[in-house]
Amino acid sequence: MVYFVSTPIGNLKDISLRALEVLRSSDVIFCEDTRHSIKLLNAYEIKKPLLSCHKFNERQAAEKIIAEAQGGKNVAVISDAGMPVISDPGNIVCGELKKAGVAYTVIPGANAFLSALVLSALPADRFAFLGFLPDKEGERRRLLEKYKNLDLTLCFHAAPQDVDRYIADMYFVFGDRRACAVREITKLHEEAVSFNLAEGLGGEKRGEYVLIVEGAAERENALNCLSPREHVAHYIAQGMDKKSAVKQAAKDRGVPKSEIYKLTLDM
């Protein structure tokens, strides 16, 4: 059997009894970084063979995992922190296991973005997890555009060097919204800082972040209550040229650009 085991996201005590039981009974453990995982295993006096399964060798690792499982071994798959597959290696392994007909299961546990969602105090009844954004600005903004009109709280992972540019692009695409930056979850210096996208997040950026951003329901509904001319004028006032403003207003309202254009010829 193959087990995808959730590990602590900070505090080593946040590991379940079942997770420890599975790790102790596994014949081999595949992990994202052997140097990182050995610290967790040493803390609980678990000595097992460790093999790597990271984003650069995941397909090859999947072949080894399948071979071990088909040979009757119990295999555990872990990442550096939290649940494998979720913004971590493992998804390719799952797909290959399915193809090979090899049974696998999940040992649940700590999760960074769910913890951050609670700490943010933003609406948690409906939300979307988007993980890490693309490295290139154009790709990042195009992805954000797809989720601009969702009336759901949005959750992102961000490395410290990416936080400011992520926030700048969110403001460019979403306009001003409430947000919360959460870091050091479950650790001594855990913090959840609320801010508005327009003002950005001050201070030095250290450690991995989860950025929680409010949804667009009230904002977009309000815009759609405007006349088409007022809608276009709103975006022009934000700095868009007329062509871009017409395109965005049409997208907001779910109508062809030509309809909006006809109504704004003299603008």
Spell out the residues 6+ positions from residue 134 whose beta carbon is closer than 8 angstroms to its own: 140, 143
pLDDT at 197 over 80: yes
Q: Given this model, what pLDDT does residue 217 score?
A: 62
Yes or no: say if 19 and 109 are a contact pair by the CB < 8 Å rule.
Answer: yes
Q: Please determine, looking at this structure, whether the domain spanning 112-215 carries the CATH number 3.30.950.10.
A: yes
Q: Is 187 helix (H, G, I), strand (E, B) or coil?
A: coil
Nearest to 199 by CA among 227, 219, 230, 178: 178
**What residue spans in the chain does CATH classification 3.40.1010.10 cover?**
2-107
Joined together, the tokens standing for residue 61 give: 């690792």
Q: Which residue has the tokens 């990442």?
A: 79
Pairing of strands 153-158, 127-131: parallel
Residue pLDDT, tens place only, 46-73 = 999 999 999 999 999 999 999 999 999 9
When pLDDT is cut at 50, 70 and 90, the band that residue 237 belongs to is confident
pLDDT at 156 over 70: yes
Q: Is 20 helix (H, G, I), strand (E, B) or coil?
A: helix
Yes or no: say if 147 and 220 are a contact pair by the CB < 8 Å rule.
Answer: no
Joined together, the tokens standing for residue 5 give: 């085991």
Q: Given this model, what pLDDT does residue 225 score?
A: 65
Q: What is the DSSP letter of 129?
A: E
d(CA 264, CA 254): 17
CA-based Rg of the chain, rounded to a whole angstrom?
23
Nearest to 85 by CA among 178, 5, 163: 5
Spell out the residues 6+ positions from residue 137 whose beta carbon is closer than 8 angstroms to its own: 165, 169
Report the percentage of the chain scoring pLDDT > 90.
76
Residue pLDDT, tens place only, 217-226 = 655 556 666 7
Q: Given this model, what pLDDT does residue 230 score?
A: 83
Residue pLDDT, tens place only, 125-150 = 999 999 999 999 999 999 998 998 88
Residue pLDDT, tens place only, 77-129 = 999 999 999 999 999 999 999 999 999 999 999 999 999 999 999 999 999 99
Beta-carbon count within 10 A of 234 CB: 18
Fold assignment, 2-107: Cobalt-precorrin-4 Transmethylase; domain 1 (3.40.1010)
**What residue spans in the chain does CATH classification 3.30.950.10 cover?**
112-215
Model-level pTM greater than 0.85?
A: no
Report the percentage of the chain scoring pLDDT > 70.
96
Q: What is the DSSP string of 22-38?
A: HHHH-SEEEES-HHHHH
Q: What is the DSSP string of 80-103?
A: SSB-TTSSSS-HHHHHHHHHHT--
Joined together, the tokens standing for residue 27 give: 């014949």
